[in-house]
Structure 1
Amino acid sequence: MKGDPRSHGLWERSAPPAPDMVPLSGDAVADVAVVGAGFTGCSAALHLAEGGASVAVLEAAEVGFGGSGRNVGLVNAGLWVMPDDLSGALGEPYGSRLLAALGDGPRVVFDLVERHGIACEAERQGTLHCAVGQKGSRELAERARQWQARGAPVRLLDAEETARKVGTTAYAASLLDARAGTIQPLAYARGLAAAAIAAGAHIHTGSPVVAATDEGTTWRLQTPDGTLRARSVIVATNAYTNGVWPVLRSELVHLPYFNMATRPLSDNLRRSILPERQGVWDTRDVLSSFRFDRAGRLVFGSVGALDGLGLAIHRAWGRRALAKLFPQLAGIPFETEWYGSIGMTENSLPRFHRLGRDVVSFSGYNGRGIAPGTVFGRCLAQLLLGTLREDALPLPVTDPAPAPRRRLREAAYELGAQVAHFADARF
């Protein structure tokens, strides 16, 4: 997008076209203004429109331009935080509510895909969280115990069964989550946008909000070519917040993440890797992830930015690491590459904020954007439609707070990834 092949890579090449949209021009009025057209914003717009509200979405660039259109496409349940830790971190009833809402998140996503006929390469074969070494095995065993105690359909696999499902002996164990799956993320974002438009929402791309003014009973949002007045505002910009409401950006530490995709593999090679088509990520601190797209390309990713010195380091690591995992892929080049930013919070939990009178926001998805973004977008729509009380949301309202040493930590993430990838998979 915007002429940058490393912004969305394979996803931009393979996604169905976005619906026709134009920048906001002149004066417009809506019940609700949504700022940002990613998973959260498009889900909110869809559910608001289906609930009878008039809604207009203002997107600075294009649908899915931020993290929504750049990620791996793993539709996971829950969070990085262990299930048992949520009650202590949030208190009750919020811990149980959040666990229930996001445990059910993949079902919400796949139900929307089916109901609206969204062509996004949806695969509901589960995901595999793969253990690197005994430390990773202990982590997954505990995660399995906690989810199973809540009746979740997860299963701990030993090294032998993991090897059969993944196609490599690199992992000591894995956790299979039957709730989860994969999608083509940019295609999903565009499909949500198309469904929202069909329900009556208006989506304006190329329309950055440059000013927001509280006029007492309405908000006036100014874009370069137009003005939108709305009773309520949803801010759904997350890690790609820029300009208005900068406090959302200040509380998120950006973690860079990249993906690279091979050309479509032969049938023989496809059968030797992930034969059941689960998506995978591992327990390393500098984690790796991989999955197939519908055409048989292997999408392989890790922490890091494909920029500056990191471009050569991460590229070279990708070739080495892929060949070490799957020797049969040695010499097969990557056709596309792309990267983006994940918004990380202090405690790895998302945030619900009130940013002003009738201005609400969820943000801080910590690398779990697809299901949480979809679920939280629906929650915000229900809140503004009056069908869900604020005290019944899965998160309590909190005040935004700048992340300590944010810039230093962001630089450390990239430097740490470069050091790890420079040394890794050489032997």
Structure 2
Amino acid sequence: MAPASYAGDGSYPPSYYAASRNIIRKPVTLQGDVEADICVVGAGYSGLSSAIHLAEHGFKVVVVEGAEVGWGASGRNGGQVVNGLNASLGTITRRYGEQTAKFVGGLLQEGASIIYDWVDRYAIECDLKRGNIYAAYTPKHMEELKAKQALWRQHGMDDHELLDKQAIRRHIGSAVYEGGMIDHSGGHMHPLNLALGEAAALEQLGGTIFEHSPVTKVEQNASGASVQTQSGRVTAKAVLVCGNAYLGNVVPELTARVMPVSTQMMATEPLGAERANALLPTGMCVEDVRYILDYFRVSADHRLIFGGGVVYGGTDPADVVAKLRPNMDKVFPQLTDVRIDYAWSGNFALSFSRVPQLGRLGRNVYFAHGYSGHGITGSHLFGRILSEAVRGDLTRFDTFAALPWIPFPGGRMFRAQYSTLGSWWYELKDRLGI
């Protein structure tokens, strides 16, 4: 088996999710020439979402993955079903106008609804639970949450419940928060098991997934497009590029549009039901509202899964535990004696505008990327919109494709350094509470 240059031998990196996955696939590598209606590059959430939607409409779909299903961000993330884009509705209104904000506001909960539907319809076992909490450290944070609740209500979404300092203690066994807000339409789950379950659903629908098949080239012709790998080729009427943070330079026109950013996670030893329930009594997941945020939840086997931090450019820190442990101990000082069993890192794709990008290259190559840390719901939604475009309904696709993308200051060479400088400023504001 030829190694995948960006993924070693293509097997999952060590993480709690890889160790606890409930489906063990037998990867099949693409060999020789294959024909399909649609070829999807990438077996993460974007690729799987678009492929399932197309397969449900009778298309012959082939997915080509350089490593294994969910190898990238889709199998390593916080597992938190958070509604909305990274860019807020207020930002979208100021930047693109009321009509675009109204359009975006009408679909912000759709990605979550796709996940909930498929978990039920395809019997995907991924420990899904409802409810996520935004936690506020300061009165200023609480004002921001009140404004968010009011703005979402203007767009017909009324699932947010504000929590004062006393109320949030009923949900989080920590004294560090000023208050918070529940999104009852959010939730959390085991992200790799969701991806693996979606892959199984796609195959039940007649789709094909080739793993350990790194793409080397995407080409167009008069009748369609082709995807070349190290040992084979897929010829199709259209290609959907969903490689996101791990696409590399396979499609040069897309390389500068997003920047890989790593985030880190760790999982404690099993805490037991009583101790775990004391941390999060109502079983919801949590993320705070700082610029450089922490996020955490309790797993089905009663571990605390805790994540946070970013490294622009996508490199891994030398010691994930050393980076995250002080933050976890600050929130939960009662866990200072707890062993960390797993620690890992992974990349998401950041767009400079913090708005995901949809587009088309030529006639037959479509792409979606740049969820900027909100990829669980965004990828499922944008996968559906990609499938609509392929089927001839360009209404929603064209609205997003028309939004201008903004290049990173400093270009490809210095974008990570410029972004790091900017993050320091926002981190200082978080520390000072301004």
* Residue in structure 2 matched with residue 343 of structure 1 by the alignment: 349
- Aligned residue number for residue 262 of structure 1: 268
> Hey, what's the Cα distance between the residues in 1 that align with 2:89 and 2:407?
26
- The one-character-per-residue Cα deviations of 1:210-254 (angstroms, maximum 9, x if unpaired) are 122222112122111111110111001111112321332312133
Q: CA RMSD in A?
A: 2.6
* 1:25 corresponding residue in structure 2: 31
Match of 1:61 among 67, 78, 85: 67
Q: Distance in 2 between matches of 1:23 and 1:139?
A: 49
The answer on whether the counterparts of 1:39 and 1:68 sit within 8 Å (CA) in structure 2 is yes
Aligned equivalent of 1:199, options 197, 205, 221: 205
Residues 280 and 409 from structure 1, CA distance in 2 versus in 1: closer, same or farther, beyond 3 angstroms?
farther
- Say which SS state the counterpart of residue 133 (structure 2) adopts: strand
Alignment of 1:96-135 (within 5 A): 96-124=102-130, 126-135=131-140
8 A Cα contact 1:365 1:372, kept in partner:
yes
2:134 is paired with a residue whose SS is strand
Structure 1 runs of 4+ with >6 Å offset: 3-6, 306-309, 414-417
Q: Is there any run of 5+ residues in structure 2 with no aligned partner, and where?
A: 1-6
Q: What do residues 133-160 of structure 1 show as CA deviations (whole Å, max 9, x unaligned)?
A: 1221221121122123333210111111
**Equivalent position SS for 1:290:** strand
How far is 1:400 from its partner? 5.9
- The runs of 5 or more residues in structure 1 that have no matched partner are none
Match of 1:176 in 2: 182
For residues 189 and 56 of structure 2, what CA distance do their matches in structure 1 show?
24
Does the Cα contact within 8 Å between 1:348 and 1:366 map onto a contact in 2?
A: yes
Report the Cα distance in structure 2 between the residues aligned to 1:399 and 1:63, rounded to whole angstroms: 31
Report whether the alignment pairs 1:310 with 2:311: no
1:402 and 1:201, CA in 2 relative to 1: closer, same or farther beyond 3 A?
Answer: same
Q: What is the alpha-carbon distance in structure 2 between the residues aligned to residue 12 and residue 256 of structure 1?
A: 18
Q: Give the match for residue 404 of structure 1.
A: 409
C-alpha contact (below 8 Å) 1:305/1:311 kept by paired residues: no
Alignment of 1:7-406 (within 5 A): 7=13, 9-91=15-97, 93-124=99-130, 126-149=131-154, 150-304=156-310, 310-312=317-319, 314-386=320-392, 388-390=393-395, 395-397=400-402, 402-405=407-410, 406=412
Task: Check conservation: 1:253, 1:345, Cα contact below 8 A.
Answer: yes
2-structure distance, mates of 1:209, 1:112:
28
C-alpha separation between the residues in 1 aligned to 2:10 and 2:270? 22
Contact in 1 for aligned 2:260/2:347 (Cα 8 Å)? yes
Q: CA deviation at 1:409?
A: 4.1
Cα pair 2:220 2:365 within 8 Å, conserved: no
Q: How far apart, in 2, do the equivalents of 1:16 and 1:407 lie? A: 41
Indicate the SS of the match to 2:240: strand
CA distance in 2, matches of 1:345, 1:173: 30
* Shift in Å, 1:18: 4.3
Q: Determine if contact 1:240/1:249 at 8 Å carries over to the other structure.
A: no
Provide, for residues 254-303 of structure 1, a one-character-per-residue CA deviation record: whole Å limited to 9, x for no partner.
32200000011123211211111111111222211111111111011111
Contact 1:18 1:63 in 2 (8 A): no
1:362 match: secondary structure: strand
Structure 1 residues 343 and 377: alpha-carbon distance in aligned structure 2, compared to 1, 3 A threshold? same
Report if the CA contact (8 A) 2:40-2:239 is conserved.
yes
C-alpha distance after superposition, 1:148-174 (max 9, x if no partner): 333321011111111221111101111
**Separation in 1, partners of 2:381, 2:132:** 19
371 and 207 in structure 1: CA distance in 2 versus 1, 3 angstrom threshold: same
Q: Distance in 2 between matches of 1:104 and 1:8?
A: 32
Give, in angstroms, the shift of residue 193 of structure 1: 0.9
**Offset of residue 188 of structure 1:** 0.8
Distance 1:296 1:412, change over 3 A: farther
CA–CA distance in structure 2, aligned partners of residues 119 and 7 of structure 1: 22
Question: Shift of residue 407 of structure 1?
Answer: 4.5
**Residues 83 and 146, structure 1, Cα contact 8 Å, conserved in 2:** yes
Maintained 8 Å contact 1:38/1:189: yes
Structure 2 distance, partners of 1:281, 1:407, is 32
Report the TM-score, using the length of structure 1 for normalisation: 0.90
The 3-state SS of whatever aligns with 1:395 is: helix
TM-score by length of 2: 0.89
Please give the secondary structure, in 1, of the residue aligned with 2:400. coil
